[in-house]
Amino acid sequence: MKDLDIRRDRNAGRITLTRPQALNALTHEMANAVHAALDEWRDDPAVKLVILDAEGDRAFCAGGDIAAVYHGGREGDHGVGRRFFSDEYQMNAAIADYPKPIVAFMQGFVMGGGVGLGGHASHRVVGDTTQVAMPESGIGLIPDVGGTWLLARAPGRIGEYLGLTGARMGAGDAIHARFADLYLPEAEWDAVKDRLADTGDMAALQGQTPPPAPLATRDLSAYDAETVAEITAALKDAGDEDSLKPIGRNSPQSMEATLVMVRAARNDARVQDSLSREYRFTHRATESSDFLEGVRAQIIDKDRKPKWSAPADPDAVAAMLADLGPQELTWEN
């Protein structure tokens, strides 16, 4: 398909995102095609490993292409979003559970849906341009695509910090926060990919000393608090303007839900548990959250002035995360 280059290359299956003009944003069709390729190669003995990368210098994948979800929701067709999120999450889980190595080379922006693609790979490579983030609270959503699973496994309160603020991580921070595994200068990536495809041997992948990780020494004690209001009060006491600014801009409902979900995900046994919880929110998102207004303000009209209205009290958050009954996201195993 025009947005992906899926091919066999010697001992490797290759998946390359090929829409750099759109920062390689992931469409529904792309998500399904990635999943289909992985299924095709799963039991193929000629495919020793999978290489996942993207064209262009600016982004590995800057997120999901949610324009169709927005327009469907505005027209009252909530099935557009539900089908997209369901299929995308199934693909995320397939990457996380894949029986062969998947090596993701993540340059530039790696956000939202891009984290869902690369963040669950078995070997996650970052470089000097890498900027990883889960900024969904800024569009009235929650860190999905298994984002709450990854945030929950970051050290200390880094997960709460990243989920509420949408802060970006460079290579060193991404490795420290367990969103990535290896640092390599990007000038060396093509040669490493060639060796991997030629040998089919993961020994061809060797990381170098990563850049510093400022998050390792940042005081995040404010994020010990129980609610967003309490966290905000603690941040004000600490004079942490860098955190207060995005928290002041983001959807209150999204942030409260994110806090609940990241903490719940710490008890999840596998990524599918987190994805199912995320789907409860996103299944309802075009109908009952701040999502449509957030997308309007940030992506459609680009006035950057969302008028948040979704309730953020505990009962409202619990309703967004309530079991979906027969519409729950389910798994084959």
> Is 329 among the domain residues?
no
In a domain, 88, yes or no: yes
Beta strands 182-183; 131-133: pairing state? unpaired
Residue in 13, 64, 108, 294 annotated catalytic: 64
| Residues 4-28: tens digit of each pLDDT | 999 999 999 999 999 999 999 999 9
Task: Decide if 94 contacts 39 (C-beta within 8 A).
Answer: yes
Are 217 and 172 spatial neighbours (Cβ–Cβ below 8 Å)?
A: no
Annotated catalytic residue: which of 53, 88, 136, 278? 136
Average pLDDT, the chain: 97
Q: Given 3-state DSSP classes, what are the helix, strand and coil percentages for the chain, each rounded to the nearest 5?
A: 50, 15, 35
**pLDDT value, residue 1:** 80
Please say whether the beta carbons of 215 and 176 come within 8 A. Answer: yes
Structure tokens at 315: 């009962």
Residue 125 falls within a domain, yes or no? yes
Read off the amino acid at residue 176.
H
Q: Which of 53, 65, 88, 144 is catalytic?
A: 144
Q: What's the mean pLDDT in 152-170?
A: 98
Residue 117 included in any domain: yes
What CATH number has the domain bearing residue 165? 3.90.226.10
Residue 227 domain-assigned? yes
Confidence of residue 333 (pLDDT cuts 50, 70, 90): low
Catalytic choice (81, 112, 113, 166): 113
Q: How many helices (H) and strands (E) does the chain have?
A: 14, 9
Span 207-234, average pLDDT: 97
Any residues with CB less than 8 A from the CB of 245 and at least 6 apart, and which?
Answer: none
Structure-token pair, residue 305: 């002035």
Which helix H or strand E contains 174, and what residues bound it? helix 171-176
Each residue's pLDDT tens digit, 263-304: 999 999 999 999 999 999 999 999 999 999 999 999 999 999
The pLDDT > 70 percentage for the chain reads: 100
Identify whether the C-beta of residue 95 lies closer than 8 Å to the C-beta of residue 102: yes
| CA distances for 152 relative to 100, 146, 255, 274, angstroms | 25, 10, 15, 10
Report the number of distinct structural domains present in the chain. Answer: 1
Distances (CA, A) of 207 to 175, 229, 309: 11, 41, 46
Query: Mind listing the pLDDT tens digit for each residue in 71-90?
Result: 999 999 999 999 999 999 99
Position 333 in a domain: no
AA identity, residue 88: E
64 an active-site residue? yes
Residue 315 backbone phi and psi in degrees, to 5: -65, -40
Residue 332 lies in a domain: no
Confidence of residue 332 (pLDDT cuts 50, 70, 90): confident
Of 58, 57, 120, nearest to 88 by C-alpha is: 120
Is 328 part of any domain?
Answer: no
Which helix (H) or strand (E) element contains residue 13?
strand 12-17
Structure-block tokens of residue 125: 């490579």
0.85 surpassed by pTM: yes
Question: What does the CA dihedral 232, 238, 243, 249 come to, rounded to 10 degrees?
Answer: 40
Containing domain of residue 162, as a range? 4-211+220-323
In the predicted model, what is the mean pLDDT of residues 83-112? 98
Angle at the Cα of 36 from the Cα atoms of 324 and 125, rounded to 5 degrees: 95
144 is annotated as an active-site residue: yes
